[in-house]
Chains A and B, each alone.
Chain A
């Protein structure tokens, strides 16, 4: 359970922990776009170096990052192999039916491997060094411009914080309901397709009913404490930019500049 409550956050004390979650989230999002500027060996080398520097700056064990890559390793491998044979161009070494092995294919497969790994590494740095609550606050900040097109960002923020608060509770409840049904002979992992699909209802309906009850109770409690919509309220949890975030910004800008200079045009 404790694993679920804190998510993937691992406490630590390095420069990345002191950064504002908004800055980290922006870098994690933009990194995926920046990686597209890389199109030759030199630029891939530069971006890999930057990612490794970011990983090293967390001062966490390498195993944590390996755990992030591990579940996807077969997907990465399989995808690279498919790309290896479907990319054509350059010197052709071998050809059979629709499969071709070419110099472009080999380079492309390796690039895709690197791209996958780097994107996973950077988002692991993000989730491992930032608490879920902080990430949610940062997401709320990023959504703010949607106010201009009259999207109710405050309501969305409320839904976000309620969902975040209740994920551990509901997870706990789901396991309890499963065990309670099991103690009366319910089987969630056996039988044919229809039997298994039917077994989901005894899990879902109690969960749904308890959510309905919680919603009624919580809305009554919030109204009793003076909640009358999100307008005109103040914020208790506030994010603050600091000098460390300049490092983060500098990282992103210099990486982009280097990639633009050295990429093949």
Chain B
């Protein structure tokens, strides 16, 4: 399959992609949960991108959302291309599991754990290591507690979100 075919998309979808990207940027500004474990809502945007547009355009949308967010709000901790890559990989992984598939609990569990492991624990720790020259072990210890708790909360949210969004899709 040629690259051109991967990127085929019509105007209405392209604009919806822009709007979902904007939605992701807005959701990133909100978080919920008690003060000890704040869960940002940005991952809902990634799930929506993946569910509606699949791995390829989902990844593109994720990348754009990172760029737009840093253009408007500034990147906390500086511009770094690694985090843009991270923002692309999460919808890509979700897309492999959710795009054009029925909502299943095992899909949600596997996808969320994979994203947490590859993206949050793996890549993001790596970027911080590269950016600030931190010791990898110390950086992992610092991040581990949050990354062990948060995915389980995310799974519950993803389940409810996918269920309600799939209903909207069928109606249209």
Contacts and interface: CB of A to CB of B under 8 A. Distances in A.
Contact of B48 (A79, A170, A208): A208
Contacts of B4: 150
Contacts of A196: 32-33
Interface in A13-39: 25, 28-29, 31-32, 36
A150 B5 CA distance: 11
A155 B41 contact: no
Interface string B130-145: 0111110111011000
Given A28-B78, A72-B76, A200 B41 contact: yes
B16 A212 contact: yes
Interface stretch (B19-27, B89-97, B99-107, B111-119): B19-27
A171 interface: yes
A201 B78 contact: no
Contacts of A251: none
Given A194-B156, A208-B48, A211-B16, A167 B22 contact: yes
Contact of A204 (B15, B71, B131, B161): B161
A222 to B, nearest CB: 7
Interface string A113-157: 001100110111011100010011001000000000111100110
B157 interface: yes
A158 interface: yes
The interface size bin for chain B is: 35 or more
Most-contacted residue by chain B among A174, A189, A215 (CB, 10 A):
A215
Interface string A53-92: 0000000000000001001100000110011011100000
Contacts of B17: 159
A166 interface: yes
A262 interface: no
Contacts of A50: none
B74 interface: yes
Secondary structure at the B interface, as helix, strand, loop or mixed, is helix
B80 A163 contact: no
A253 B123 CA distance: 30
Interface in B33-50: 33, 41, 44, 48
The interface size bin for chain A is: 35 or more
B131 A162 contact: no
Contact of A164 (B16, B71, B165): B71
A164 B19 contact: no
Interface of B: 3-4, 7, 9, 11-23, 25-27, 29-30, 32-33, 41, 44, 48, 60-61, 64-65, 67-68, 70-81, 131-135, 137-139, 141-142, 153, 156-157, 159-161, 163-165, 167-168, 172
17 contacts: A31-B78, A82-B138, A82-B142, A126-B74, A128-B74, A158-B14, A159-B17, A162-B15, A162-B18, A164-B72, A174-B30, A197-B157, A200-B161, A205-B167, A209-B168, A211-B20, A229-B11
Given A82-B141, A167-B22, A209-B168, 20 more contacts: A7-B72, A29-B80, A79-B142, A82-B139, A86-B135, A111-B133, A112-B134, A119-B132, A135-B70, A139-B67, A163-B19, A167-B68, A171-B26, A174-B30, A193-B153, A194-B156, A200-B161, A204-B44, A204-B161, A212-B172
Cβ-closest 4 pairs across A and B: A162-B18, A127-B74, A119-B78, A215-B16
Interface of A: 4, 7-8, 25, 28-29, 31-32, 36, 68, 71-72, 78-79, 82-83, 85-87, 108, 111-112, 115-116, 119-120, 122-124, 126-128, 132, 135-136, 139, 149-152, 155-156, 158-167, 169-171, 174, 188-189, 193-194, 196-198, 200-201, 204-205, 207-209, 211-212, 214-216, 218-219, 222-223, 227, 229
